[in-house]
Amino acid sequence: VHNQLLVEQVRQISQAGGGRIDADTYATAESFDLARIGAGSVASAVDHLMLGTARNGFALVR
């Protein structure tokens, strides 16, 4: 889980076309949208597990 400041920083960097978040981390123009897709896939897996529409789940996200 990341704090809101980092989420906003990644959004802004992505909107600007990409750039460095810090010395070791780079964001592309697609990074923010891809992070949202990844987080959404995890939330969807949890929803299915809690609703009983899936017996197990696996989400490989980075």
* Ramachandran area for residue 5 (φ above 0: left; ψ -120 to 50: alpha; else beta): alpha
The strand pair at 18-22 and 25-28 is best described as antiparallel
Q: Which pLDDT value is given to residue 23?
A: 95
The total of other beta-carbon atoms located within 10 Å of residue 51's CB is 8
Q: How far is CA 28 from CA 14, 19, 49, in A?
A: 6, 6, 32
Q: Chunked in runs of 10, what are the mean pLDDT values of the chain (62 residues)?
A: 94 98 97 96 97 96 86
Q: Which pLDDT value is given to residue 9?
A: 97
Tell me the residue range of the domain where 10 lies: 4-51
pTM of the full structure: 0.83
Q: Which pLDDT value is given to residue 1?
A: 81
Within a domain: residue 58?
no
Q: Which pLDDT value is given to residue 50?
A: 98
Q: Which pLDDT value is given to residue 62?
A: 82
Within a domain: residue 61?
no
Tally of domains in the chain: 1
